[in-house]
């Protein structure tokens, strides 16, 4: 069980929530920063999507509210909030 691998005191009810924007960024980073072939990057993108408990519905990047002042951080915060809203 995954919870057994977490450090002492870590919550056991943490879930991976992702979005199309985060998965797209994972794919780009694997190709650009880690020199992965596009097919390998696509397979890893798919894997991340499958281990996520939830992929939030599509949203337009332009519609993301400013949370942190950094568009990449805003995307992550927005995804987390949407995921929490769905899971609760």
Q: Is the pTM of this model over 0.85?
A: no
Q: Beta strands of 1-88 (E only): which ranges?
A: 17-18, 54-55
Q: In Å, how far are 4, 17, 38, 43, 78 from 72, measured between CA atoms?
A: 31, 16, 22, 23, 10
Residue 81, H or E segment: helix 71-87
**Per-residue pLDDT band at 11 (split at 50, 70, 90):** confident
Per residue in 27-63, pLDDT tens?
999 999 999 999 999 999 999 999 898 899 999 988 8
Q: Report how far Cα 50 is from the mean position of its chain's Cα atoms.
A: 11
Give the model's pLDDT for residue 2: 61
């Amino acid at each position: 069980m995954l919870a057994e691998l977490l450090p002492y005191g870590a919550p056991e009810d943490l879930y991976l929530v992702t979005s199309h924007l985060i998965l797209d960024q994972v794919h780009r980073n694997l190709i650009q920063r880690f020199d992965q072939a596009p097919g390998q990057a696509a397979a890893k993108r798919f894997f991340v999507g499958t281990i996520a408990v939830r992929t939030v519905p599509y949203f337009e990047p332009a519609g993301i509210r400013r949370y942190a002042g950094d568009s990449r951080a805003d995307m992550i915060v927005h995804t987390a909030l949407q995921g929490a809203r769905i899971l609760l």
